Amino acid sequence: MKPKGHCTLTIEGKSFELPIYEGTEGPDVIDITRLYRETGYFTFDPGYLSTASCHSTITFIDGDKGRLEYRGYPIEQLAEKSDYLETCYLLLEGELPNQSQKDEFIEGITHHTLIHEQMAKSYNGLQRDSHPMAVVVTMVAALSAFYHDSTDINDEAQRLLASRRLIAKMPTIAAAAYKYSIGQPFVYPDNGLDYASNFLHMCFSLPTEDYQVNETLSKALDRIFILHADHEQNASTSTVRLAGSSEANPFACISSGVTSLWGPAHGGANEACLNMLKEIGTVDRVPEFIKRARDKDDPFRLMGFGHRVYKNYDPRARIMQKTCHEVLETLDIKDEPILKVALELERIALQDDYFIERKLYPNVDYYSGITQNALGFPSSMFTVLFAIARTVGWIAQWKEMIEDPLQRIARPRQLYLGHNTRDFIPMEER
């Protein structure tokens, strides 16, 4: 990387030159890597509000304009014209595949959909009422105990194998977590089905009955996967990069991403959002909840609203809203009360000064819960679906980091506000 120029930082009368780098799009960055060595100062940026933690060529977001692109392709075009596995290839390889590359990639993924039988048995060691995300975190980490031949991160072939195994096995792990929670037998993957249809099959079919995957619903799920596939340096992706920077096992790194995703401020918002809409219940109660969201003394927030990066309508939310209507129409669910609540809440919030001033718009999680609920998933599975989709993003970002010559172990510094040195106090004197 060549700097496009320099800026000057003056500390206590001394000036320091800092290089400025220009991205293809988005804000330029000031390079502070030598700041501590040259000035003795750290920068202070809790929550990384102004910090680019890496350089990347995978995903671009323009939060003010509401743009999201994977490798330069707008999310709207991918959601309409691509499919999830093709999008995975794009994220991992940087370009759209030609037909034979696509066929080879799909074959490579499909070949790995089974999980080790011993691993399937290890679900029994977990309580049946565990949250499915707890089960998925555990089982993704458990992959590192089963697939020893794909854990050498310095071997490109092993990295590829680990990537394909993760993408292929996530739906199997997730569906088994669901089946385990409801006491039904695990369903083996059917490699004759596409990625989303196979997941629906593993979740909803039974050995006792015939199950036909509805094509429209499977397409809707595939689109949900595309929308969630990557989102540049969010909390879970940064977690994966941070864990991977110590050259840790890839499966363990991805498991750390699943853990971070679980939180209600991140991927857990879809579950929290549906619970909120159910709690509101009827359209006439919407103003009461808007009032609560505005109240500084009330910790309540509108779930599915607001975003660190989008200060405009989240482009994924628009596509999700359309998908939601399509799913409800296909299933002939008319007058869904929760959808009415959601539409009214959105209408009022978008006209409300509090939300306008803070640029709070619906995010992807706002309509995804209603859609996934209609597809037949309980709310505890929503974040699991997000994790399946995001696995490819985590892997693409992890791979980019491992292959980056600038990569070093991530080691943030701190502003220490604790005690100065003091002598140990013996128990009898405390």
Shortest spacing between CB 126 and ligand CMC, in angstroms: 26
Shortest spacing between CB 180 and ligand CMC, in angstroms: 26
Ramachandran bin of 226, using left for φ above 0, alpha for ψ from -120 to 50, beta for the remaining angles: alpha
Instruction: Tell me whether residue 161 or residue 273 sits nearer to ligand CMC (CB atom).
Output: 273
Instruction: Tell me whether residue 119 or residue 136 sits nearer to ligand CMC (CB atom).
Output: 136
Shortest spacing between CB 34 and ligand CMC, in angstroms: 29
How far from the centroid of its chain's Cα atoms is residue 204's Cα? 24
Would you say 349 and 302 are in contact if contact means Cβ atoms under 8 Å apart?
yes
Instruction: Tell me whether residue 168 or residue 302 sits nearer to ligand CMC (CB atom).
Output: 302
For the annotated catalytic residues, the residue numbers are 307, 365
| CA angle (142 as vertex; 47, 233 as ends), nearest 5 | 25
From 252, 192, 241, select the one nearest 400 (Cα to Cα).
Answer: 241
Shortest spacing between CB 71 and ligand CMC, in angstroms: 19
Instruction: Tell me whether residue 18 or residue 243 sits nearer to ligand CMC (CB atom).
Output: 243
Residues that bind ligand CMC (CB under 6 A): 231, 234, 265-267, 269, 293, 301-308, 358, 360, 363-365
Would you say 22 and 5 are in contact if contact means Cβ atoms under 8 Å apart?
no
Instruction: Tell me whether residue 68 or residue 119 sits nearer to ligand CMC (CB atom).
Output: 68
Query: Distance between CA 10 and CA 72 in Å, rounded?
Result: 38
How far from the centroid of its chain's Cα atoms is residue 310's Cα? 15
Give the CA radius of gyration of the chain. 23
Contacts of 243 (CB under 8 A, 6+ apart): 252, 253, 256, 257
Instruction: Tell me whether residue 65 or residue 111 sits nearer to ligand CMC (CB atom).
Output: 65
From 53, 59, 57, select the one nearest 393 (Cα to Cα).
Answer: 59
Would you say 316 and 227 are in contact if contact means Cβ atoms under 8 Å apart?
yes
Instruction: Tell me whether residue 244 or residue 393 sits nearer to ligand CMC (CB atom).
Output: 393
Shortest spacing between CB 276 and ligand CMC, in angstroms: 10
Shortest spacing between CB 364 and ligand CMC, in angstroms: 5
Shortest spacing between CB 349 and ligand CMC, in angstroms: 9
Structure tokens at 26: 């988005």
Q: Which residue is nearest to ligand CMC (CB)?
A: 306
